[in-house]
Amino acid sequence: MTTYPSIADAAAALRAGEVTSVDLVEEALANADRLDGELGVFIRRFPEDARAAAQQADAELAAGQDRGPLHGIPLGVKDIIATVEAPATAQSLVLDPGWSTPEGDAPVVARLRAAGGIVVGKTSTYEYAIGFPDPEKPFPIPRNPWNVEHSPGGSSSGTGAGLPAGMFLGGLGTDTGGSIRIPAAYDGITGLKATFGRVPKSGCVPLAYTLDHIGPMTRSARDCALMLGVLAGHDVTDPYSSQRPVDDYAAALTGDLTGLRIGIDSLERTGDVADPGLPGVIAEARAVLVAAGAEVVDVQLPLYEELVTAQLITMAAEAATYHMPDLLTRWHDYGRGARAFIGGGVAYSATDYVQAQRVRRVGQQAVAQLFTRVDLVVTPTSSTGAFALADTKPTRMFEVMRGLHTQYWNSVGNPSLSVPWGFTATGLPLGMQITGRPFDEATVLRAGDAYQQRTDWHLRQSPLVQTVAA
Amino acid sequence: MTDPAAAIAQLIALAGITPDEDELQAMVDALPVQREAVAALYRVPGVRYEVPCLTWNAIP
């Protein structure tokens, strides 16, 4: 639990002289001391580097040098992204420790630091952003702060679990099929996969070149807007990175949805498992969006199953290609989950891969047609709460991770935000997924913020965190 | 379709990877569903003459 529930609140308090960056960092470090052993959030922590950076941040503010809303804010970085403090591991024995040394800070990390952000540590992840944590490997097993018998989701597990526990106020995740939005939904936080190419992804271990994204994970949509404003923009080291100008995302947060048409697709028709309380959660959210000024209509996402299939083929084939040299020689150094999924990529042919890319093209056109009728689309991020760790089957990942609705948007590339919108009957968070037109993150964040101005799901604290704080 | 176990055995041998027995069985079990999902991609309206969303520039 933190004194300040969000980056925006902490930034205001810093400038009002109510708190220092040293205070914020010490509180984050103390929360990590209390709960990291239980939640498995960090691969590595950098307390001394963070303290030194906080002292510098305070000195700069005192001297009138203000780097913006992330100045002096403690942040966590998923450990498949390079930072100068220590080699990235990708939570794997296989990744060459020398990989990240020449990388230095990834462009996204360099941007956060230039904006005054303070990296307190590297957070746990599914191995190579895909494989369930393997208890036989020397890495943490991340756990859900709302129920430690459940997964925090992945693959950005540590960033997802650490935020509600107050171990940092914002963090970086990556998202190839939902790895920002799934933990956001499971852990009751807010996470944004921006448009493909909006945020440069060089300096990050790839999972699938044409699906990977780096993005912000925070408590609120407003905080995501603040972080995206720093992260977005072209970088020459990422050939997929867009040269489009970056919008003022924070300025878009008017709290008002008047003039917007929002389509809702419950995705019940997919026949996948769903929490029995989900229809009520959707109905309540619909009412909130209407109260904020939006016109809400029902829609159906086109080519849903086909685009999910295309995402899966693309991810499996691109991942298998990247990993093939190590799969051949170091099979058992990978965890069981990672090698099962990545190795399974050999079951797809080159023809399958190219056909998947043709379907993605058709899908983009169909989705663009849908967005001529609506400005945003809302679906559940996941139709269920987090799965129990006891149910984990490393070699059968998709039998466990049921009810997910994130992969579709990686297939076509649109920006997609997950915000908390309720709980299961057993007290596990559920997430609403808000998606917009390509490069229209401003409208997506505007809707998320307007929703959060009228609800408090994103401010709830888990019983574990409350107990430890007390 | 071809016997899934035989097909996976061939693919694994071709790739040169060495999964454990249960990992192999998971791949065998998944194959029929995978092939049906791939077949469905050829039934998408409009896809027959579409170009793939792969970019390629002459200048690196």
* Strand ranges (E), A71-112: 74-78
pLDDT digits (tens, 9 = 90+) for A383-396: 999 999 999 888 88
Residues in chain B: 60
Query: Looking at the predicted structure, is the pLDDT value of residue A201 above 70?
Result: yes
Backbone φ and ψ of A155, nearest 5°: -90, -10
* pLDDT at A248 (0 to 100): 98
* pLDDT at A1 (0 to 100): 59
pLDDT digits (tens, 9 = 90+) for A438-468: 999 999 999 999 999 999 999 999 999 888 8
Residue pair A339/A397 in contact (Cβ under 8 Å)? The answer is no
Which chain B residues touch A346 with a CB distance below 8 Å? 11-12, 14-15, 17
* pLDDT at A139 (0 to 100): 97
Query: Looking at the predicted structure, is the pLDDT value of residue A75 above 80?
Result: yes
Q: How far is CA A169 from the centre of its chain?
A: 14
| Residue A358: closest C-alpha in chain B | B52
Give the ipTM of the model, two decimals please: 0.94
d(CA A241, CA A26): 36
pLDDT digits (tens, 9 = 90+) for A303-348: 999 999 999 999 999 999 999 999 999 999 999 999 999 999 999 9
* pLDDT at A149 (0 to 100): 97
Please identify every residue of A annotated as catalytic.
78, 155, 179
Q: Quick check: helix, strand or coil at residue A2?
A: coil
* Residue given tokens 């996402």 in the structure block: A301
**CB-based contact, B39 to chain A, within 8 Å:** no
- Pick from A167, A198, A179: nearest CA to A32: A167
Q: Which residues make beta-bridge pairs with A298?
A: A264
**CB-based contact, A304 to chain B, within 8 Å:** no
CB contact under 8 A, A352 and B54: no
Query: Looking at the predicted structure, is the pLDDT value of residue A190 above 80?
Result: yes
* pLDDT at A399 (0 to 100): 78
Candidate from B17, B34, B37 with C-beta closest to A343:
B17
* pLDDT at A111 (0 to 100): 98
Candidate from A309, A328, A360 with C-beta closest to B17:
A328
Model confidence band, residue A271 (pLDDT cutoffs 50, 70, 90):
confident
Give 10-residue mean pLDDT values along chain B (60 residues): 91 96 94 96 95 81
CB atoms within 10 A of CB A87: 18
pLDDT digits (tens, 9 = 90+) for A94-135: 999 888 777 799 999 999 999 999 999 999 999 999 988 999
* pLDDT at A343 (0 to 100): 96
Which chain A residues touch B13 with a CB distance below 8 Å? none
First to last CA, chain B: 42
* pLDDT at B57 (0 to 100): 78
* pLDDT at B1 (0 to 100): 63
